[in-house]
Structure formats: C-alpha cells, structure tokens
Structure 1
C-alpha cells in the first residue's frame, strides 16, 4: 500500500460528524409543547384576572367597616343608642365625617346596629357594622363598648 493511502482513510471508514441543529420533526414537537403550555398559562391568567376585583372590593369593605366601628367605639357611652345618626344606619352609602355621602363609595351599603348586652358579666353595648360591596357580598364586624366611668352632659353617671 502506498504511503499516501495509509494516511488518508476513505470517506466510508470516517467517523460520523456530530449533528448540529434540530430536525424538522423535533422542531414541530417543540412548537406543539410550547403552544400547549402557553394555552394553559393564558387560561389560568384569564381566571385570575376575572377574579382580581374581589380582593379589592373586600379590602375596601373592610376599611369602611373598620372606620365605622372605630368611630362608634370612640363615641361616649351615653351617645351609643338608636338616636345617634351613625348607630341607626340601615344600608345607606358610606358617609364622611361631614355627614355627606362619599361619591367614590356610593355603590357600597353600610348598616350599623347598637344593642345592649353583657360581656363577661359587664354591662356593654354590642356594635355591629355590616358593609355590602357592589357585588352583593357582605362583611360584618362586631365590637363591644363598655362604660369607662364616664359622665353624661348633666354630670350624672353615663353607665346607668
């Protein structure tokens, strides 16, 4: 055998080269898998987006109820009766401290109830605030107010 033939093997005996890139079948399978994953992701996002207003409505309802409850709890014990304007609210729109309806919250309904009761054997008043959001869901907060040894305007004991 001549010396040149020994140095250069024939193409049939050469080792196969490494493949670069993808075949058409692999590419189509990859596109199908990505398409299915994207469809599932978009479906989940649509469900989440459709319900994204619910937490906001609930949070606003909670803020309204907390504001009303804190205001009623801060009133003197003697003023917590059915004659007070905040204690007799039945489903009206939320009002500010000036007594006017807050336009941005006019689609909410607020009802308050103050009733006498006892809390661990102590005379108290049970304050219930119910807020209904625009979707019709209700949120209710309950607080108790006892007399702290206060006096009414005439100087008498307000706790009686």
Structure 2
C-alpha cells in the first residue's frame, strides 16, 4: 500500500534533520555564549591573586603585632636594678622605660628590644623573621609599628597603664593591612 504523496513528504521532512542555515545559526549562538562565559572566567582568574596578597599582608601584620604584644611592659628598663620591685617610674634606679627605643636597641642588634614601647617607630622593608632571615616571597612588603599611650575602659591615656600598638603593612598592587592591639600593665609591674 502506497501512502499519499503529501503524507510521504511530511514523513521525509520530519526525518531530514537540520538545514545548513540552522546549523550555522546554532554555531554562532553557542560561540557568543561561550565567549561570554570565558570572559567571566578570565576576569575571575586575573583577580584571584588579589585576595592572596591581602591575606599575606594580614598574616604579616598579625605576626608582628603578636611579637610586640608578647614583650614585657614595665616601668623600668629590663636592665634596671629595681625592675622587679618598681611600682612606678619613680621606683627605677636609673633606667625608666619610655616610648621609643633606648640608645642603640634594635630588633636584631645588641642590645635588642626588651619592652613593648621599644618597637615605636620600627620599620622594615622586605619582611624578615625574628632571626633577621628574609622570608621568601615577601620582599615586596613593608611594615611599620606605632606604639602610643591609649585609653581603654576606665583607664585613661594619662595613666600610662595602656599602650595601643598599630601595625601597618603595605604590599604589591597597593595591598595594605592595619591592625591595632592593646597591651596593658598587669599588677604593679607585670610581664617580666
């Protein structure tokens, strides 16, 4: 039995597939969509290093802030004979502790920093660890420390019982991180 010619034509047209024009249009549409998706991926990849730079600057600032906060905070210089018994700067034999380094003290030199406030004004360009060894990959960063009297709760800045430590780190591509921390004097002459 033969099908009528219109039915045969309808069956053939259903079985034919895509025309050349339809195929070209499909390729163009997919190409444009793929280009847009690849552009988004390229921008995300190019900016992916930025958070790493910021995290590195923050890690440097945290490390340096912790180093400073762990130093003693005393009325007298740790080389003073009355260090352990002084309950104010008047109790020091001769070496009172003040904001800033005393003489030739340094982070790595002899004599070394021996009190929190010795770090005031400390700067480094290219990050080095506590043993003065350059940390690989951090030569593009710099850090600066500021230590100043501060108020905290019921303690006023004039009391001399609180120090505010600010660490500023700058790095590649304008990266920066600033952290503040406080160091308080506990008991009459704490943190020996």
Q: TM-score, normalised by structure 2?
A: 0.67
**RCO higher in 1 or 2 (8 Å CA, sep ≥ 6)?**
2
Looking at structure 1, the residues matched to 51 and 183 of structure 2 have their Cα atoms a distance apart, in angstroms, of 30
Q: Structure 1 stretch 47-56 or stretch 137-146: which is displaced more? A: 47-56
Alignment equivalent of 2:46, drawn from 37, 45, 50: 50
Q: Mark the CA change 1:13 to 1:45 in structure 2 (over 3 Å): closer, same or farther.
A: closer
Unaligned runs of 5+ in 1: 1-7, 151-156
Q: Structure 1 stretch 77-86 or stretch 21-30: which is displaced more? A: 77-86
Alignment equivalent of 2:177, drawn from 110, 119, 139: 139
Looking at structure 1, the residues matched to 16 and 100 of structure 2 have their Cα atoms a distance apart, in angstroms, of 84
Looking at structure 1, the residues matched to 166 and 151 of structure 2 have their Cα atoms a distance apart, in angstroms, of 15
Q: Mark the CA change 1:139 to 1:26 in structure 2 (over 3 Å): closer, same or farther.
A: same
Looking at structure 2, the residues matched to 98 and 12 of structure 1 have their Cα atoms a distance apart, in angstroms, of 94
Q: Structure 1 stretch 8-17 or stretch 37-46: which is displaced more? A: 8-17
Looking at structure 2, the residues matched to 44 and 98 of structure 1 have their Cα atoms a distance apart, in angstroms, of 44
Deviations 1:37-91 (A, max 9, x none): 1111222222222222211110110110110111111111137942264513225
Unaligned runs of 5+ in 2: 78-97, 108-118, 156-160
How much is the aligned-residue C-alpha RMSD, in angstroms? 2.4
1:33 CA drift (Å): 0.7
1:108 CA drift (Å): 0.3
Alignment equivalent of 2:141, drawn from 108, 113, 117: 108
Say if 2:61 is the partner of 1:68: no
> Contact 2:164–2:180 (CA<8 Å) still a contact in 1?
yes
1:101 CA drift (Å): 2.9
Higher strand share: 1
Larger Cα Rg: Structure 1 or Structure 2? 1
Q: TM-score, normalised by structure 1?
A: 0.78
1:104 CA drift (Å): 2.3
Within a 5 Å distance, the mapping from 1:2-151 to structure 2 comes to 8-12=1-5, 14=7, 16-17=10-11, 18-78=14-74, 81-83=99-101, 85=106, 87=119, 88-122=121-155, 123-149=161-187
3-state SS of 1:119 partner:
coil
Q: Mark the CA change 1:10 to 1:146 in structure 2 (over 3 Å): closer, same or farther.
A: closer
